[in-house]
Structure 1
Amino acid sequence: MKRLPSELAALSLAEIGSKLLGLVAITYLARTLGPEGMGIIALGTAILMYGSIFADLGLPILGTRSAAVEKVSLGSLRIKISSARLLLSISVALLGGALLWFIISNTVSRDVAILYLIGLIPASLSLDWLFQGIRRIGTLALARILGMTVYLVMVLALVESSGDMIFVPIAWGGGVAVQALFLWLYSKYIPTSSLETKPLDSTPIKLMRESIPLGFANLIAQVVLQFPIIYLTLFESSSDVGLYSIAFRVIVVFLMLDRVYYTLFFPIISRSAQEGREVLQRRFYRAIKFIALIGFFLGTVFIITGGKLFPLLFGNEFRASVPIFDILVIYFILTLLSSTLSFTLIALKKEKLYTRSLIVGAIGFTGILLLPLPGDSQLVAPLALVVFQLITFLVMVRHIQDEIPFSIERVVLFPMLVIMVLLTGGAMVMHLSPLIVSIAVVILALPSLLFSIGFSRDDWQFIKRSIL
């Protein structure tokens, strides 16, 4: 926990940099391919995410947790986790590619999806999980931005029109391969064992079995997360899929915060779980207050600015993505809040409770999609995601409160009411001066949230001591 501020700065800057590079790539692809082309790419990435579920089986989370507690040889852990992931990814690429060849009739859509699945093979060799577990944050951050840079350069060099769509998954695979190679080369400079560690007493097959509970949880989460793309592909046009995809991809860009937060706090919470419940409770509560402050504040900024930025960045064709984006902002806030609960349950080795929470949320998600709700399917799909994340969050709250008492009213309900009042008031007077009113709402949001959440000077000092 005594890492220097430079590590947090490196991770934050690299995440911001890599996501900005990703945003540049998305913007370029949206303007080059249009809504229909983005719909085909979205379908390919959805299939990629489904494939990654079976290619990973929760092994990266298992590896991070094992590396964080510092009881096993890192060299042994690296080889066995990577071997298991490589075996799974090759199997998924072969079986998935053969299946897609017969299922998808559109040649371009099929080829894009198959190439994305092939990219799972270099992705399986990436050691993100290892560097996260041992908190070599600077190296991990550099690898991520290097991979994204390669992806962007390849996209800009190879994709000049909608006819070059096939090069998008190739560029993704190239970026992932460079990132994996960099981390493997750098891992040779890490001490792999000490007198206090012992070789990992598991074969790759045993590791797969051990990671299945974590993999099952990821299966549920990813099936739900990517299903709106499948849902819209089945019932709407590729252009409609593209409109949803752009809104969702922008949210994913800003979920870099969740990745930074998880990378920093999962090892801390994992160690805190071994230091005693009092230590865990204190760190957990302050951590979730911190992420609630960030989530609600940024959510306010996104809603205020989204309507103007989408046409500016992606063109007037994507103006219809704005209502979808506004709904997904709620999903963004709930995802940040749920992250603390999920990795705390995993740190407590209560993966089954996490999985049950996801199952209940998935039932709510399915219900929303099956109900004959009025309105556009493009809005029903993001609404279903919000319902999934909300139900999952509430069920996890109940499980966490059995272990760590905390006030959900102070962390969620009070700040939510404050933001609703600010946004409603701003909307009522927005016609007077849109720019001034927007700036005023954003300025008022931060102190209002600090007060409603109860974020104190002691909380801030804790964050600085623990992370910085």
Structure 2
Amino acid sequence: MSLFSMDLALKFIGFLSTAYLARVLGKSGFGSISIGISVLSYALVLADCGLTALGIRKIASDPKANDITGQILNGKLILAVVIFLLTATITFALSGLSENTYIILNYLFFLFPAAFMLEFFFVGSQKMDTVAYVRILGTIIYFLLVLIFIRDRGDAVLTGIAWTFGGVTTALFFFLFYKKRGLSFHFNGIRYFIKILKESFPLGMASYISQFTVAFPVVYIAYIAGNSQAGIFSAAFKMIGLFLVFDRVFVTLFLPKITGVISNREISLEKIFGTVLKIVVCLTLIVSMFLYLFSDFIIIKVFGDDYTESILIFKMLLVYFAFTIIDSVFANTLIGMKKEKVYTLSLLIAVIIILILTFVLTPFWGEYGIIFSFILLDIISLIYMIIYLKKDIEIKIARSIILPVI
């Protein structure tokens, strides 16, 4: 099974769970679990701290480097404990003994099975079939638990437990496949923790920034407008996330091509870049227009009549959807040219601006202020990458972007 097929299957099963929960829990309950997932997303990034990326890199360079497996797991476990305690303390301080607190805590328990996941070992060893089957199995277990135990609004607190059990299944099967290869590992305690953390931290910078961007809106909307509005926004945002599978297709097909062109110089980088950019812009516009025309049908059929307010949000987010895919052309070109720092810096600049705009605009426009900020984030990031790429290749903005739009 290819990486793309795995990603598509995971997104589809995950979205079935999302649609079911949105209908069963209603806007308020769905908003509550969306907050829990957003907080967990922050916690997972902090608890990983680039260790997964470092583990993949180390195993890929030396598959027999068995000691690195124990060091990575040791680091992730220590961070999981620290981040769990820190996040739980902050949650209790801000929300007290509320339903949101219990939902967040149940999701946070996922940090511990996540710390033991050996996915990095199999990715580094190029055993993508194993990764695919185990990840899909864990997602199916979660989906089945949701169908069995989540029946009405009062069951919202159980969703985090189902998520955690799905994680336990995933971690357990990764471990079984690891033992089947006759391998073992041992923990190093605190001895190597600081050393490996210094090495891994820079690798996680882009993840920290991008995850902050994705998880921030739901938490902030819940804070200023309540769980129901968070649920309405989350429904539209998750639908956009499903259709961003087109972005995944692009990355899968385009990045190896760009890397090959840069390495071999058999054909002009400017030529393939310009051609791909025009194709992506045209296809993105077609898909965006199709989704816009059928947005009412899509939202109501998937989430139900309670989510009619999500339709306008979904339509506005289609601008963000289009720019995100177009941004991928530039981002993956930079990555192929081994200039990831430029991409990371563009994200950082954009996030600073989005925070400023969000706090300025939301008092007047509510969640629509956040959508506007998101669109500007992509535009600012795109402009920065265009300016930088122009130093190395010729970019014909009018021919590749403006003309297809017209």
Q: Smaller-chain TM-score range?
A: 0.7 to 0.9
The one-letter code of the counterpart of 1:136 is K
- Matched with 1:171 is 162
Distance 1:206 1:344 in 2: 32
Amino acid across the alignment from 1:308: F
Q: Which amino acid aligns with 2:113?
A: P
Partner residue, 1:463 = none
Distance 2:314 2:154 in 1: 28
Structure 1 residues 402 and 170: alpha-carbon distance in aligned structure 2, compared to 1, 3 A threshold: farther
Q: Give distance in 2, aligned partners of 1:257 and 1:132.
A: 22
Equivalences for 1:254-265 in 2 at 5 Å? 254-259=243-248, 262=251
Is residue 369–residue 384 contact of structure 1 (8 Å, CA) maintained in 2? Answer: yes
Match of 1:233 in 2: 222
For residues 238-387 of structure 1, the aligned pairs below 5 Å read: 238-259=227-248, 262=251, 268=256, 272=260, 275=263, 281=269, 285=273, 292=281, 295-346=284-335, 348-372=337-361, 376-387=365-376
Structure 1 distance, partners of 2:146, 2:237, is 20
Q: Is the 8 A contact 1:327 1:382 kept in 2?
A: yes
Q: Is the 8 A contact 2:282 2:405 kept in 1?
A: no
Counterparts of 1:45-444 in structure 2, within 5 Å, are 45-68=37-60, 70-71=61-62, 73=64, 75-188=66-179, 203-259=192-248, 262=251, 268=256, 272=260, 275=263, 281=269, 285=273, 292=281, 295-346=284-335, 348-372=337-361, 376-417=365-406
Contact 1:220–1:359, Cα closer than 8 Å, also in 2: yes
The answer to whether the 8 Å contact 1:365/1:388 transfers is: yes
Q: SS of 1:126's equivalent?
A: coil
> C-alpha displacement at 1:408, in angstroms?
4.4
For residues 269 and 63 of structure 1, the distance between their equivalents in structure 2, rounded to whole angstroms, comes to 25
Cα 1:79–1:12 change in 2 (3 A) is: same
5+ unaligned residues in a row in structure 2: which ranges?
184-190
What do the CA deviations read for 1:143-178 (whole angstroms, capped 9, x no partner)? 222121111101111111111111101111112222
Alpha-carbon displacement from aligned partner over 1:384-403 (angstroms, at most 9, x marks no partner): 11211221122123333434
The code of the aligned residue for 2:95 comes to I
**Cα gap change, 1:377/1:330 in structure 2, threshold over 3 Å: closer, same or farther?**
same
| Residues 330, 386 of structure 2: 8 Å contact kept | yes
Give, as a single letter, the amino acid of the residue that structure 1 aligns with 2:26. G
Q: Higher mean Cα deviation, 367-376 or 81-90?
A: 367-376
Task: Tell me the distance in 2 between the aligned counterparts of 1:383 and 1:98.
Answer: 33
CA apart distance, 1:351: 3.9
Distance 1:331 1:131, change over 3 A: farther
TM-score (norm 1): 0.74
Residues 1:191 and 1:301: Cα distance change in structure 2 (over 3 Å): farther
In 2, are the aligned partners of 1:101 and 1:110 still within 8 Å (CA)?
A: yes
Which stretch shows the higher mean deviation, 364-373 or 256-265?
A: 256-265
**Measured at CA, do residues 407 and 172 of structure 1 come closer, stay the same or move farther in structure 2, by a change above 3 Å?**
farther
CA contact (8 A) 1:112 1:169 kept: yes
Distance across 1 between alignment mates of 2:83 and 2:268: 38
For 1:237 and 1:139, locate their aligned partners in 2 and report how far apart those are by CA, in whole Å: 41
Give, in whole Å, the separation in 2 of the partners of 1:295 and 1:67: 37
Q: CA deviation at 1:138?
A: 2.8
Is the 2:350–2:380 contact (alpha carbons within 8 Å) kept by the matching residues of 1?
Answer: yes
1:14-39 deviation digits (Å, cap 9, x = unpaired) = 33332222222112111111111111
Q: Label 1:124 to 1:262 Cα distance change in 2 as closer, same or farther (>3 A).
A: farther
Where does residue 17 of structure 1 map in the other structure?
9
The one-letter code sitting in structure 2 at the alignment partner of 1:15 is: D
Give ranges in structure 1 of 5+ residues lacking alignment: 1-6, 193-201, 418-468
1:114-140 deviation digits (Å, cap 9, x = unpaired): 121221221233344444444433332
Asked whether the equivalents of residues 29 and 231 of structure 2 are also in contact (C-alpha less than 8 Å), the reply is: yes
Deviations 1:373-393 (A, max 9, x none): 796412222221121122112
- Deviation string, structure 1 residues 317-356 (Cα, Å, up to 9, x no partner): 1011011111222222333333454455456554432232
1: CA distance, partners of 2:399 / 2:200? 35
Match of 1:30 among 19, 22, 25: 22
SS in 2 for 1:402: coil
Distance 1:110 1:139, change over 3 A: same
User: Does the aligned pair in 2 maintain the 1:213–1:352 contact within 8 Å?
Assistant: no
Instruction: Name the aligned partner's letter for residue 171 of structure 1.
Output: A
Percent of residue pairs bearing the same amino acid type? 29
What is the CA RMSD across the aligned residues, in angstroms? 3.3
1:41 CA drift (Å): 0.9
Separation of aligned partners in 2, 1:409 and 1:191: 58
1:328–1:184 Cα change, 3 Å: farther
- Is the contact made by 2:258 and 2:269 (CA closer than 8 Å) also made in structure 1? no
- State the distance in 1 between where 2:23 and 2:56 align: 38
* Aligned partner letter, 1:414: L
Q: Distance in 1 between matches of 2:116 and 2:53?
A: 14
C-alpha spacing 1:223/1:207, structure 2 compared with 1 (3 Å):
same
* Structure-2 change in CA distance of 1:87 and 1:378 (3 Å): same
